[in-house]
Each structure stands twice: as C-alpha cells, then as structure tokens.
Amino acid sequence: MAEGQDPPRQVAVVTGGGQGIGRSIALALAGDGFAIAVAARRAGPLEEVVAEIEARGAPAIAVVCDVTDPESVIALQQSVQHKMGSASVLINNAGIAESHKFVDHPDDLWQRMLEVNLTGTYRVSKVFVPGMIEQRWGRIVNIASTAAKVGARYLAAYTASKHGVLGLTRALAAELGPHNITVNAICPGYVDTPMTQASIENIIARTGRTREEALAFIHSTNPQGRLIHPEEVAQVARMLVGRAAGGISGQSINVDGGAVMF
Ligand code: NDP
C-alpha cells in the first residue's frame, strides 16, 4: 500500500489494557474509530474498559491473556482475528516493575522481568506481524520507559528489560519497513498509574520515608516536578499510529518532562 493511503482495517490490540497507560491508550484509540481488543491476565479490569469504550459507541473486546504464556498469546491473536479481523495496530504495553539491589538480586525476579517486559513484547509482536504483512500496513508501539535509555539504582532487571525493548523496536523497524509496518517506542518517566502507586508504597516500606517524601522523590525525577498523566502517553501513541506518522519508525519518544534528552 502506498504511503498516505488509509489502512485496510482499523483494529488495535492493547496489551495491559485494563488499567493505567494501557487503559488510556485503548480509550484514546477507540475515540479515533479503532475497534479495540484489550488483553491482560485479569478479566475484571478489562471488562470495565470494554464497557467504557462501548458506552462511547465503539466496538471492543476483552481477551484474558498472559504474555508470558505462548499458547495464551496465540489464543489472543486467534480471538482477535475471529471477532474483529486482522489487527493493524499493536500496542505492547503489558509490563511489570520490581526493584531490588543487585548484590543479592533474586534470579527469579530477573527472569520474570525479562519474560513479561521483553519476551512478552517479542511474543505478542510475533503473532500479529504476519497479519500486518498480509495487509501491507501495520503500526507497533512499544511502551518502554526512560529506563530503556538510562540506568537507575536497584532497577537492574527492569532497566535491562526495557533496554531490550528498545533494541527490539529498532531491529523490527529495520526489518518490517519494507512491509509498510512502523515500529516505535514511547519512553515515559513516572506516570500516575497503579504501577507508580506501588513504587511509592515500596519506597515507604523499604526506606521509612513518609508518603510526602516518597512522592517528592518521584517528582524530583521529572524537571517539571510532577507525575506524567497516562493521557499524555496516550496522545503520543495516537500520533504514532496515525496515518500521518507513516515515515516515523525505529524512534523512541520520551514523555518525561525533559528528564532524558536523547
Ligand atoms: P500498571 O501496573 O498500572 O498496568 C500494567 C498492565 O499490564 C495491567 O493491565 C496488567 O494487567 C498488565 N500485565 C502485567 N503483567 C502481564 C502479563 N504477564 N500478561 C498480560 N498483561 C500483563 O502499569 P502502567 O500502566 O504504569 O505501565 C504500563 C507500561 O508502561 C508498562 O510496560 C510499564 O513498564 C511502562 N511504564 C510505566 C511507567 C510508570 O511510571 N507507570 C513509566 C515508564 C514505563 P494484569 O495484572 O491483569 O495482567
């Protein structure tokens, strides 16, 4: 399909779409006319997002899926194909974050972080790319992190997994360009989501800091002294999957108030 033409079908898959950043992206893309499939392990939050989307008059389905389970990921693709048709947009957003100091870093934490954040992104991309190749149109957006670009204390596994996501983004952009598929990453700083709330609780529990002190630390990582709103990340995703972004691929866009400038 030539540059600038509309995609043949507008079906978007959002992993981790039941809450936080994934939920905001799902709602934003539904507003742009996409049929939405949200996928995660827990059905309850997914169904709430589907109800929100349907209340706005857009089609949506919830698919229970664990990105660490290859069969579950294949079933996700089959379910989307059966109910909505080939996905033209994939938002790899499912992720987990846990911290630990390195000297006695648990091996299972390392494995889990890589399995969800990096291998999950690989696995879900792998099942949806063939349909995009067939349509000669596709957009993949990987939700990485500023931790894909810089290191931080106590976050070895998370940082390694997100650097890997950025490497995968660039490799796929190079390989899938001839098929008219773009692959980009978004790198947020701390976003106001349940994941960041858990990080704040963790700081309080491990350091004895007050909630205000923990929040002040999180804010201090952003030159604007605040949390990023999930909607701000969603707006960048909207832009990247839009028709006008056909020439943007292999890029990583920071949404962090200017903390990281490369
Ligand atoms: P949340 O913890 O709020 O949401 C994570 C989502 O991922 C949930 O819907 C969760 O649903 C899903 N998920 C987790 N594990 C799996 C799995 N194995 N299979 C399928 N789905 C899974 O996180 P955020 O919205 O904050 O983060 C979304 C993404 O953005 C993540 O990749 C995160 O690393 C990244 N990010 C977040 C930042 C932040 O400050 N919050 C900053 C930078 C990047 P369920 O539990 O039901 O499976």
pLDDT in tens, 233-258: 999 999 999 999 999 999 999 999 99
Average pLDDT over residues 51-70: 97
Distance CA(15)–CA(84), nearest Å, equals 16
Contact 43, 75 (CB under 8 A): no
Q: How far is CA 232 from CA 24, 194, 237, 261, in A?
A: 9, 16, 9, 17
Contact 93, 27 (CB under 8 A): no
| The two structure tokens encoding residue 256 | 């962090």
Q: Which residues line ligand 1 (CB under 6 A)?
A: 15-16, 18-22, 40-42, 45, 65-68, 93-97, 116, 143, 145, 188, 190-191, 193-196
Would residue 122 show up in a list of annotated catalytic residues for this protein?
Answer: no
State in Å: Cα 96 to ligand 1 middle: 5
Q: What is the pTM of this model?
A: 0.97
Contact 183, 208 (CB under 8 A): no
Residue with tokens 């701390």: 190
Distance CA(73)–CA(65), nearest Å, equals 6
Distance CA(120)–CA(242), nearest Å, equals 24
As a residue count, the chain comes to 262
State in Å: Cα 6 to ligand 1 middle: 30
Q: Which helix (H) or strand (E) holds 11?
A: strand 11-15
Q: How confident is the model at residue 77 (pLDDT cuts 50, 70, 90)?
A: very high
Average pLDDT over residues 11-34: 98
Question: Which residues 6+ apart lie within 8 Å of 70 measured at CB?
Answer: 123
pLDDT of res. 2: 46
Task: Note the pLDDT tens digit of each residue in 105-134.
Answer: 999 999 999 999 999 999 999 999 999 999
Out of 64, 73, 96, give the residue to mutate to test ligand 1, the one with the largest number of ligand atoms within 8 Å of its CB. 96
Task: Give the nearest ligand 1 atom to 19 CA.
Answer: 9
State in Å: Cα 232 to ligand 1 middle: 16
Crossing angle for the helix pair 20-31 and 43-55, nearest 10 degrees?
Answer: 30
Average pLDDT over residues 1-15: 69
Task: Give the nearest ligand 1 atom to 230 CA.
Answer: 25
Query: Can you say whether the dihedral through the CA atoms of 16, 65, 88, 142 is positive or negative?
Result: positive
State in Å: Cα 135 to ligand 1 middle: 29
Average pLDDT over residues 72-92: 98
